[in-house]
A and B are shown apart, each in its own frame.
Chain A
Amino acid sequence: MAYNDKVLDHYENPRNVGSMDKDDSDVGTGMVGAPACGDVMKLQIRVNDNGVIDDAKFKTFGCGSAIASSSLVTEWIKGKTVDEALEIKNKEIAEELALPPVKIHCSVLAEDAIKSAVSDYRSKKESTSS
């Protein structure tokens, strides 16, 4: 399948690849997978005292569209508040990358990764504040 230029760009020059310390209380780790194809995606956010995501990292083992979706998402969520990040919908990701219908699930995975990272971050904050 021919990949669209934006997908290729993220695939060849992925932004923000890497890992953060998942035990850090400011870091939320999202871990999602696509059982139908075996792709796994890890998305980590670091949230500052103002509730703003000041850094994001990802690691994805999957196809080009999955890598591009997660790479794009790390760019988008940096500088956003946690609540703003949660507003990102898979449809926007798919549109930005012009994903074909068979690759829509990759953008769904990226959206789920944000939710999963935020919920991990929030549950950490709750357990430390109580």
Chain B
Amino acid sequence: MPDHPQQNACWSCKGPAGEGLFCAACQALQPPNLQQNYFQMLDHPPTFKVDRTRLETSYQALQQQLHPDRFATRTARERRFSMEHVTRLNEGYATLREPLARAGYLLQLHGRASGDEASGAAPTDPMFLMETMELREALEAIDPAQPDADEKIDAMRQDMERRVEEEEQGMANAFEAHNNTQETTHLEKVAQHMDRLRYHNRFLEEVERLEEKLFV
């Protein structure tokens, strides 16, 4: 058919399977389409700012269609495809839901390292490191035995959550600037914000650890 020159053949009935999860002709479950990125898979535009409800709705709908329980009595091949689909779906959803992972994934889609170890971002500003160190020291200095320890910890958490929001806003702005100009310097900025966000996340993990100790 000239309209669909690249139509995939169904593994089961060998007919044209169509674009869907299931063969248009025989309804057999098709393997995951690895050409699709996570945004396409979850039917969301590839942007840093995401509509969480939309992501969740897509995720739930796909999860329902693809869950291995539904394929318990089907062919071994379909059972395996179902597992593969659900694994990829969970990975994709986890990636897009979390700002740091989402930013890294978007960098990858833009052909840049994901912002992990080999981010290539400029070394973190020493003033920022100094501040991070001071915040960690201040947190450490809180004596859990004092009656106001939980208030102090809570205040530090709120302060850090504001910093996290700033970094996320910074990433959103940098991605938007990149979309408008296509200049890669904006992606550099994203990687720098990601670096800073990781330090902040570590701080929040430490807060959580302290709070657990305090409330047991």
Contacts and interface: CB of A to CB of B under 8 A. Distances in A.
A31 B126 CA distance: 7
Nearest to B118: A36
B17 to A, nearest CB: 42
Interface in A29-62: 31-33, 35-40, 42, 59, 61
Contacts of B116: 36
B133 A31 contact: yes
Nearest to B130: A31
Interface string B151-179: 00000000000000000000000000000
A31 to B, nearest CB: 4
A105 B195 CA distance: 16
B198 A31 contact: no
A61 B124 contact: no
Contact of A40 (B121, B129, B194, B201): B129
Contacts of B203: 38
Q: Which DSSP category, helix, strand, loop or mixed, fits chain B's interface?
A: helix
A35 B133 contact: no
A17 to B, nearest CB: 11
Interface in A53-97: 59, 61
A33 B137 contact: no
Contacts of B133: 31, 40, 42, 59, 61
A41 to B, nearest CB: 8
Nearest to B203: A38
Contacts of A59: 133, 137
Interface size bucket, B side?
Answer: 20 to 34
Contacts of B201: 38
A30 to B, nearest CB: 9
Given A35-B119, A37-B202, A40-B199, A61 B130 contact: no
A31 B137 CA distance: 14
B212 interface: no
B202 A35 contact: no
Interface string B189-205: 00000111011111100
Contact of A35 (B136, B140, B199): B199
A32 B124 CA distance: 8
Given A31-B130, A33-B132, A59-B137, A38 B202 contact: yes
B200 to A, nearest CB: 8
A3 B79 CA distance: 42
B117 interface: yes
Nearest to A31: B129
Interface of A: 31-33, 35-40, 42, 59, 61, 105, 116
Nearest 7 interchain pairs by C-beta: A38-B202, A35-B195, A36-B117, A31-B129, A38-B198, A61-B136, A38-B199
